[in-house]
Amino acid sequence: MKILVADKISETGVSLLKEQGFEVVEAYGSSPEKVIQLSSDVDAIIVRSATKITRDVFAAAKNLKCVGRAGVGVDNIDVEAATERGVIVMNTPGGNTIAACELAFTHMLCTARPIVQADASMRSGKWDKKSFEGIELNGKTLGVIGLGRIGGNLAKRALAFNMKVVAYDPYLTDERARSMGVEKVELDALFPQADYISIHMPKTAETKNMINAAALAKMKKGVRIVNCARGGLIDEKALAEALKSGQVAAAGLDVFENEPLEAESPLRGLKNVVMTPHLGASTVEAQENVGIEIAEAIASVLKGGMIKNAINAPSVDPATLKVLAPYIRLGEVLGTILQQIADKDVKKITIKGWGKMTSYDNLPVMRSVQRGYLHKIAQDINDVNAPRAMKRLGIEVQAHSSNTETDYTDLMSVGAECASGEKFCVAGTLIGKSQKPRLVHMNGRDVEATLAGYLLIVENNDVPGIVGHIGTVMARHGLNIANMSLSRNSVGGVALNICSLDSKPTDEAQKDLFTNKDIKAVHLVDLKK
């Protein structure tokens, strides 16, 4: 397998890939056209922040299975295009945490004490003490916007400097805030009380320019702002105006909306802003860490192992995957059955689990059901692009856990709701030490059928002679019945017969079943891969 390393990572990471038998193409600083050319036959691509992996790259890279970002942000990767093509996108959120945190803290110190400006003055031959008066961190309030790994580590360091820390994060729980010694607040409450603000949010449609003119006006006059997260979180023109007016006393910026920063940017001429060229991960330790981490993650995916730190697919550790593997197989086959017995106008699928599987994240199992449902109706479907394909079909997918009592220790049901109002449901469990999947429920009836080969599902009036008729027709067409399950809800009602067949019945064989007037419906489920 071939891996394109488009941006330079640590030599240790590259060596790791070569030692595991991968062909590694090191093409640092390649033009966009060259990247497209080199991607034509690679199985994986590794980048940092310089190389852009665009929709054109994904279109050219027919063998591509995964893209790895040696760093946190994936702004330079078209994740939507990757997802459409079933390509896993991974990053390394832990490798540069300390490096990014320490840079943000350095910028905060530089906004408090004009070290950079004083150094420039000294180098020009001056001794100007009066122009470089600063303020202390001690006793001041730091507002952290985004209390993830980096923001959380920054908060710890601020507390050590005897600062009060207030934090806004839509996913921050009261318990975590208390355990960290910070005060959880809403964003509009953070602005007017913070002496310093450090931003640690991802760039999304919702967070783009979240620090704009209106937000700056709500802040305490003389606030100091640091952004070492993502460019585009701050409206740079509005920030420049606030720096000129004194509403913002100083700023420290490591990231910018357009990188490299334009020569005509209004920020370049301001003396109260310190800028660095996206150095968040630029430490020896961080580069070594992220290089090794992304190399290990890429190698694992290409060798069929666990997916780690995926942006667009479930990430499951090996121990959890070992437990969930039988449920993932069960979910896939139930999804396949549901698609083949339900109407074509399915609008909603509901997955419900009981037992051991409910103790784990249900996302891998949820994706397996979607993958199974799409198996016969779409090509090249995997855990990455299955949700997108379901959305295109207009199908909503929900998953729930249940602790209600059932006849089985472990049970999974998959139901379909159609636009016509009709509903379908299949349920399965795991049997024996080998944990083989078994169908135990279909459309309101208890059944027992092995989930392999072909399932011939026959609905008929509950009258004598049906089993004999089915057996006769199958024998006439040379079809061997490996197993038969019979079920009915009431005497004389509509019964269900499920036959497990070793080979696929022809259309003529299925048609022959209707020579008996008590046969109401026939479905064939193909479980062959």
Helix, strand, or coil here: 498?
strand
Residue pointed to by tokens 């497209």: 36
Greatest Cα pair distance in the chain? 108
> How far is the C-alpha of 11 from the C-alpha of 30, rounded, in Å?
18
Find the catalytic residue in 69, 85, 224, 230: 230
> How far is the C-alpha of 313 from the C-alpha of 300, rounded, in Å?
14
Find the catalytic residue in 183, 241, 259, 448: 259
Beta bridge partners of 500: 455, 483
> How far is the C-alpha of 193 from the C-alpha of 33, rounded, in Å?
49
Residue 475 buriedness (CB in 10 A; 0-12 / 13-18 / 19+):
exposed
Q: Is 259 a residue of the active site?
A: yes
Q: Is 230 a residue of the active site?
A: yes
Residue pointed to by tokens 């301001």: 270
> How far is the C-alpha of 471 from the C-alpha of 30, rounded, in Å?
67
Three-state DSSP string of 389-457? HHHHCCCEEEEEECCCCCCCCCEEEEEEEECCCCEEEEEEEEECCCCEEEEEEECCEEEEEECCCEEEE
**Strand 396-401 vs strand 141-145: parallel, antiparallel, or unpaired?**
unpaired
The DSSP result for 451-497, as a single string, is -SSEEEEEEEES-TTHHHHHHHHHHHTT--EEEEEEEESSTTSEEEE
Q: How many CB atoms lie within 10 A of CB 377?
A: 12
Find the catalytic residue in 85, 107, 278, 375: 278
Q: Is 375 a residue of the active site?
A: no
For residue 127, what are the CA distances in angstroms to 32, 112, 114, 526?
49, 20, 14, 85
Strands (E), 228-345: 248-253, 273-275
Amino acid residing at 446? D
The answer to whether the Cα torsion of 484, 489, 495, 496 is positive or negative is negative
> How far is the C-alpha of 61 from the C-alpha of 267, rounded, in Å?
39
Active-site residue set: 230, 259, 278
